[in-house]
Amino acid sequence: MRPAPLPVRDGLGPARVRLRGGPVLAELTARFGAPARSKVLAGEVVDADGAVVDDATVLPSGSHVFLYRELPDEVVVPFDVPVLHRDDDLVVVDKPHFLATMPRGRHVAQTALVRLRRELELPELSPAHRLDRLTAGVLVFTARREVRGAYQTLFSRALVRKTYLARAAVDPRLVLPRVVRSRIIKRRGVLQAGTEPGAPNAETLVELVSPDGLYRLTPRTGRTHQLRVHMAGLGVPIDGDPLYPNVIDVPADDFSTPLRLLAQRIEFDDPVTGARREFVSRRMGP
C-alpha cells in the first residue's frame, strides 16, 4: 500500500476513505454528515496524490481520500507504557492492562501506538503484532517504515515463540499439561469468539506451574482471544475475564479488575540482523 499523502499528526495518521464514485463533497456529507462537509470546504481533505479536494471534485469508484478524524471523548488509561528496548528498528514495551494496541472503535488516542508516537516522537512507529486491550505484557513495534514488513511477516507466519502467564482456578480433575486444539471463529460485531466444528485453527500448550493457580500458556497459533477461549473451554477461565465464559458489562473507567493474563516473553530470530532476540516483561506476574 502506498504511503498516505498526509503525515502523522499528534500521533495519529489520517483516515483513508474508499469512495463509491461521483461528487466527493456530496458522498462524504451523505456518509459522515456535516463535519465531513466542513472538512472538504476548509480544504482539509486530499486525494491519493495529495491534491486538495473541493466542492467540485469528482472521483471514480474505488478512489480514496484522506482526512484527519475527529477524536472521540475517551477515558484516560492511567498507566504508563514502560519501554523495555529501543534501537533503530524496534521499540519493545511492557503494555499495561486496559490499553489497546492501536486505534479501533472508541479507543483512538488512548492506545499504545498513539501514545508512544507522541512520547517517543516516532511518527513511523507501527505494531509488529497485537495484544488484546485487556492483556498486559511484551509488545513489539517497528520504528521505521523500511523494516515494518519484515517484522510483521515474522509474526504473521508464526515464527515467534510467545509465552504467557495466567491466573485461574485449579481443577484437580483437569489433566495437565495438555495441548488444546479447536476451531475458533471471531465474527465482526460479536464480543465473544466462538468454537465451531471443523479443522482446528488454534492450538495452545497449557501447563500448571504452581498449585495456587499460575498457568503457563504457549500458543502455537494466534487466533483472536485464543488463550481466553481455551482456558474457559477447560472450565478454568482466566481470572478477571469480562467476556469468558459470560459477558460482564464493565464501565469504561473501571480499572479495578484486570484480566490476569500477561504476555511474559517473546523470542525470535531477527529478520534484519539474524540475531536471536528475547524480550521479557518486568511485571511481577499476571
pLDDT tens, position by position, 75-112: 999 999 999 999 999 999 999 999 999 998 888 999 99
| Active-site residue flag, 249 | no
- Residue 234 is given by DSSP the state T
pLDDT tens, position by position, 138-170: 999 999 999 999 999 999 999 999 999 999 999
**pLDDT band, residue 1 (cuts 50/70/90):** low
Cα 49 to Cα 3, 12, 61, 139: the distances in Å are 10, 20, 16, 33
Average pLDDT over residues 253-281: 97
Amino acid of residue 282:
R
The second-level CATH assignment, the architecture, of 83-280 is 2-Layer Sandwich (3.30)
**pLDDT band, residue 249 (cuts 50/70/90):** very high
Q: Which of 282, 272, 266 is nearest to 142 (CA)?
A: 272
What confidence score (pLDDT) does residue 2 get?
A: 77
pLDDT of residue 264 exceeding 90, the answer is yes
**pLDDT band, residue 42 (cuts 50/70/90):** very high
pTM beyond 0.75, yes or no: yes
Q: How many other C-beta atoms lie within 10 A of the C-beta of residue 92?
A: 21
Q: One of 132, 171, 241, 249 is an active-site residue; which one? A: 132
Instruction: Please state the domain extents for the chain.
Output: 15-67, 83-280
Q: In whole numbers, what is the pLDDT of the chain averaged over residues?
A: 95
pLDDT > 90: percent of the chain: 91
pLDDT of residue 71 exceeding 90, the answer is no
The DSSP bridge pattern shows strands 214-219 and 202-210 to be: antiparallel
